[in-house]
Structure 1
Amino acid sequence: MNFFSKYPVLIVLSAAMAIAVFFQCKSDKYKPVNEDLSVVKSELLKTNISFEKQVNELITLVSKNTDEKTLQEKFENLRITYKKMEWAVEYFLPNSARFINGPALPEIEMDEHTELEPEGLQVLEEMFYPYTPENKDETIRFLKKLINKSNTIKTNFQAISMSKDQVFDAARQEIFRISSLGISSFDTPISGTFLKEMPYSLKAVQLTLQQISTQQSKTALQKIDAAIDSAIAVLKKNPDRNSFDYVHFIPDHLNVISTLLLEFKKQEGIPNIEVTSALNKNAASFFSKNAFNPNAFTPGKEFAFSDEKAALGKKLFNDNILSNNNNRSCATCHIPEKAFTDGLARSMSLENSELQRNAPSLNYAGFQHGQFWDMRKDDLEGQSSDVISNKEEMHGDLNIILDKINKNPSYLPEFKKIYHTQKAETWQLQNVLASYIRSLAKFNSDFDEYMRGTPSAMTEKQKQGFNLFVGKAQCALCHFIPLFNGTVPPNFKKTEQEVLGTAVNGDNKMFDQDLGRGKFHETVAALQHSFKTPTLRNISKTAPYMHNGGYRTLKEVMNFYNKGGGKGFGFKVENQTLSDAPLGLTDQEINDIIDFMGALSDR
């Protein structure tokens, strides 16, 4: 069985981190569970009882060598039952959720350089589609692990307290999960049953809102009920992943529901959860202007974004003062007209020789946990100092640079005004440069305008291309809507990497030996030749492509994916995370997808 077949490796959240996230999300404005919310917990516990019963039934059926079709039907019903409580499990028990319905790939403990065995529904999906009797014992073993997780759900939901603001926030996150992971078949990559499951996720949100509502929100609740019922009717009409009309379903149904949730929140007087999150609490949809909060990706409060910081960072970004010999600026390799790339296969060193990799776009880099292709730096602050001090790129000395800045009659007063210190410090220099890069996310493409309610913003070919992008081509499995990068919605707390099996160029005749992230984790097999999943926003401006710049056109990139990545071209890439199954896209379909990607360019 191949566990490295569908998704990028995910970085594990420790139990301690998960607990911390939970308590961070708690609002002090509410006391422990009251009678009004006991019905919510009761429903969750009842659903979990059904979940455990169905797991035990599957164990019995597998033990009795039941036929494949029956096992698949029972498994699909089990997944549906989980979907009924997913909104709460994902929110209140994120670490458990990862091992119930996370990707069928090992979790990586980065600090220990170790891998944890994948488990849960996605691992079982690989066992049931197709089902092989020889895997009977392994199938039962993983089903029994689900029993343990069900017990965890029971124990926790009997003990934890909930508040109305938490329950609402969890329900809202589920709508955004459906609008990104759910709509892309992220957790049913083989069976493709996600469109059949989504009505149950929506019904669970509908029921939960009914349970916490009062007469104050009667009007909003009626609208939400109607919108959810309308969405479910569309889903039931066509559950085929390859022909479903995603491009209309998202704005006409899912965005409508998420917008109505804010009306419900207002009528009920529900306060915001007091925690910094990537998606602003008052964003009507993923595609609202200013929907994303850049401060969710900074190292701490003192690094918070401001227009003043970004303006100062822009000046320094374009100033040769940051290089050793005052002969190169950040803008040398990150040109605005080329979406802050340089248009070269590989950037050039100070000595005019090729560097190892292609210069990545800085647009939307602020919405990633991991910088550079190999993710060797966690944030943009670390990224900037790494480039400045790199002897091949800028060969700058931060101490010398700071001395020049502190003697500069233009720069020093601005640092003093922003940071209220007598002189500029290293972290402040890093922060203003990072702030400028964070300002480069414009979210004003034709695609954004379309999703905000302007049907004419995209052409019919681009709309068809989006449907293919999400459906048949499965691009959205890794380039998550709406950022179109590897930062996982709806919480956006981690960024993924992929093992594609990339060749040295678009001829696809020779495997590229660059270890990527594996260079820093030599004992972790899953990370060898892995690279960050970059954003596709502004992709039409950033040729050539891939980490090595070996693919000259988007057509070459699409041909590579269409064939099944490196494995499809015969490369021995045992840990390839990209599915090696050919996509079967026609030339016209590829052209439509490329046309759609053009709609992702900022204006």
Structure 2
Amino acid sequence: MKKLSKYPILLFLYSAIALFVLSYCKSDKYSPVYEDLGSVKNEILRNNTEFEKQIKGLIALVPKNTDEKILQEKFEELRKTYKKMEWAVEYFLPHSARFINGPALPEIEMDEHTEIEAEGLQVLEEMLYPYDKTNKEEVIRFLNKLINKSNTIKTNFEAITISKDQVFDALRLEVFRISSLGISGFDTPVSGTFLKEMPYSLEGVKQTLQQISTEQSKDKALKSIISEINSAIGVLKKNTDKNTFDYVNFIPDHLNKITFLLLEFKKQEKIPDVEVTTALNKNAPTFFAINAFNPDAFTPGKEYAYSEEKAALGKKLFNDKILSNNNTRSCATCHIPEKAFTDGLPKSMSLENSELSRNAPSLNYAGFQHGQFWDMRKDDLEGQSSDVISNKEEMHGDLNLILAKINQHKEYQSAFEKIYHSPKTEVWQLQNVLASYIRSLAGFNSDFDHYMRGNKSAMNESQKRGFNLFVGKAQCAICHFVPLFNGTVPPVFKKTEQEVLGVAINGENKTFDKDPGRGKFHETVASLQHSFKTPTLRNINKTAPYMHNGGYKTLREVMNFYNKGGGKGIGFTIENQTLSDTPLQLTNQEIEDIIEFMKALDDR
């Protein structure tokens, strides 16, 4: 059964009213504007009624040994109906959305180290493309599960109150979802029908904007948005071939214009912000704006908030050998700025000059991840810094002794007191300034960024072809999500993925690397064995050698590995591989174009 990149998430039990708050904010208190939009809810319920009707229609067809093509056509219609209300389900019922259209891999209870069966549209897609008639009972079972989720949608939207600010926020996020997950085919990895579905997502956005608009925007922003959405839909309907679609121009020429105009609509309609901390800034006109992302969405709490003063102090300490046991090594020893904060070695060296077990990951854009180190053993950068400092092979530092030295250092002690207003430096403050410096290492200033901001001369023709391949034929963007190009899932950026690729010990691809990765900490969870965090590809041209073991010397070796279908594709037995084992059939020129595109991700 063909599977692609998916992500496990923690399960929670939500009440209907608390769903949005628990899934979308950290500790912020949010008091919504209680302005019930009956017409909007009625449209959601109408689409859901059609959704349930289509599910039941499929259930009726399956026992009749219906032809595969007919079942696939009916299934595609079902998905299109869901896309019309996706904006609402994803925002107000994210837990249910995970089981309606989430990845076809088990849900994981991390605390319990157990797996829960995957279900929903993506599971059904794997059963229908191709369709095995001997599997009809399982198809019916999962369709019945989908009816239960449809009932959940009905029950909740009949009960909850939704307001204009929430609806606008949900619609804006949907356009960003289309600009990242939708356009990459993330939720149709087997059928590849995403270009046919995107018009229905856009229609859902357009129709709902019309419902919540007033005379304030009718002949202004709303009119422009409708025109832009219609134009985008026209382009999508002209070409539904994922291998030839012009992604590199569709995003800036259409999707970016829609998100920009949405802010004008918000201003004209005087819609307030939904007051929660989010990774994507509320005033970001596009994914690619220079200040689109909020680093504070990735911190442990408000007291850890980013500031330039913290980052400046963190930079000094990052380069100071005071953090190591014998004052011989700093953080910069293994994270060199010119090498995108890696060390250029296959595996880092210990204090005793022996080889460590893994490659030093880049710190560029590390602040935009939920899970640090290759095995994601720490949730945030604060935990990451103390782990490295105290590791006897890396820096062998004692945090209490380091604090004593810092409190005796007049310059450092004064700087900490100025920032934190406390007479003595505490461990969490040391962690926080180091983490703040790392959070500053995100320039968003590559040639690709400039191209997406409208400078059409910023990338050459090979790089443009490479991006189209990256998103389309090569399917790289279903793991390395635009615009961060890491595994942090847009558009809410609440989860960071790990993948099982089946990596070999080196680019010869002859011997499987047995490093358990994240599985070391979850030995009874089969799907996490040999899994590793999906790192960013930004500045990837500077960070050779590659993979968690540093065994792949060049980007060409990495691309050859993916082109063959990962570990399973080259003959390894890896039952839990999340990467598709189907060869990509990329030509040498196509591989070169993708590599050229990745060079366009280097910050200037």
Q: Output the amino acid matched with 1:106.
A: P
Q: How does 1:14-53 map to 2 (within 5 A)?
A: 14-16=12-14, 20=18, 22-23=20-21, 27-28=30-31, 30-33=33-36, 37-53=37-53
Q: Output the amino acid matched with 2:9.
A: I
Structure 1 SS opposite 2:217: helix
TM-score by length of 1: 0.98
2:10 maps to 1:9: no
What CA distance in whole angstroms lies between the structure 2 residues aligned with 1:500 and 1:372? 17
Give the aligned partner of residue 328 of structure 2.
327
2:550 maps to 1:549: yes
What CA distance in whole angstroms lies between the structure 2 residues aligned with 1:486 and 1:557? 17
What CA distance in whole angstroms lies between the structure 2 residues aligned with 1:372 and 1:411? 28
Give the aligned partner of residue 137 of structure 2.
137
TM-score by length of 2: 0.98
Q: Output the amino acid matched with 1:194.
A: F
- How many residues matched? 598
Structure 2 SS opposite 1:115: strand
Q: Indicate conservation of the 8 Å contact 1:9/1:108, yes or no.
A: no
Q: How does 1:13-162 map to 2 (within 5 A)?
A: 13-16=11-14, 20=18, 22-23=20-21, 27-28=30-31, 30-33=33-36, 37-162=37-162
Q: Output the amino acid matched with 1:144.
A: N
What CA distance in whole angstroms lies between the structure 2 residues aligned with 1:17 and 1:516? 35
What CA distance in whole angstroms lies between the structure 2 residues aligned with 1:187 and 1:544? 31
Structure 2 SS opposite 1:235: helix
Q: For 1:109-142, what per-residue CA distance to the aligned partner results, in whole angstroms no more than 9, with x for missing partners?
A: 1000000100000000001100000100000000
Structure 1 SS opposite 2:457: helix
Q: How does 1:418-433 map to 2 (within 5 A)?
A: 418-433=419-434
What CA distance in whole angstroms lies between the structure 2 residues aligned with 1:211 and 1:240? 33
Q: Indicate conservation of the 8 Å contact 1:113/1:523, yes or no.
A: yes
Structure 1 vs Structure 2: percent identity of aligned residues?
77
Q: For 1:51-92, what per-residue CA distance to the aligned partner results, in whole angstroms no more than 9, with x for missing partners?
A: 000000000000111110100000000000000100000000
Q: How does 1:146-545 map to 2 (within 5 A)?
A: 146-218=146-218, 219-545=220-546
Q: Indicate conservation of the 8 Å contact 1:244/1:471, yes or no.
A: yes
Q: Indicate conservation of the 8 Å contact 1:487/1:493, yes or no.
A: yes
Q: For 1:7-27, what per-residue CA distance to the aligned partner results, in whole angstroms no more than 9, with x for missing partners?
A: 233223413499655136685
- Change beyond 3 A, Cα 1:17–1:449: farther
Structure 1 SS opposite 2:469: helix
What CA distance in whole angstroms lies between the structure 1 residues aligned with 2:322 and 2:446? 33
Q: For 1:172-209, what per-residue CA distance to the aligned partner results, in whole angstroms no more than 9, with x for missing partners?
A: 00000000000000000111110000000000000000
CA RMSD of aligned residues (A): 1.1
Structure 2 SS opposite 1:179: helix
What CA distance in whole angstroms lies between the structure 2 residues aligned with 1:156 and 1:280? 28
Structure 2 SS opposite 1:108: strand
Q: Indicate conservation of the 8 Å contact 2:501/2:566, yes or no.
A: yes
Q: Indicate conservation of the 8 Å contact 1:83/1:200, yes or no.
A: yes
Deviation at 1:30, TM superposition (A): 1.4
What CA distance in whole angstroms lies between the structure 2 residues aligned with 1:13 and 1:227? 38
What CA distance in whole angstroms lies between the structure 2 residues aligned with 1:9 and 1:511? 23
- Structure 2: runs of 5+ lacking an equivalent: none
Q: For 1:200-226, what per-residue CA distance to the aligned partner results, in whole angstroms no more than 9, with x for missing partners?
A: 000000000000000001110000000
Deviation at 1:32, TM superposition (A): 4.8
Q: For 1:368-413, what per-residue CA distance to the aligned partner results, in whole angstroms no more than 9, with x for missing partners?
A: 0000000000000000000000000000000000000000011000
What CA distance in whole angstroms lies between the structure 1 residues aligned with 2:151 and 2:53? 12
What CA distance in whole angstroms lies between the structure 2 residues aligned with 1:122 and 1:400? 52
Q: Indicate conservation of the 8 Å contact 1:196/1:239, yes or no.
A: yes
Q: For 1:428-481, what per-residue CA distance to the aligned partner results, in whole angstroms no more than 9, with x for missing partners?
A: 000000000000011000000000010000001100000000000000010000
What CA distance in whole angstroms lies between the structure 2 residues aligned with 1:345 and 1:18? 50
Q: For 1:232-291, what per-residue CA distance to the aligned partner results, in whole angstroms no more than 9, with x for missing partners?
A: 000000000000000000000000000000000000000111000000000000001100
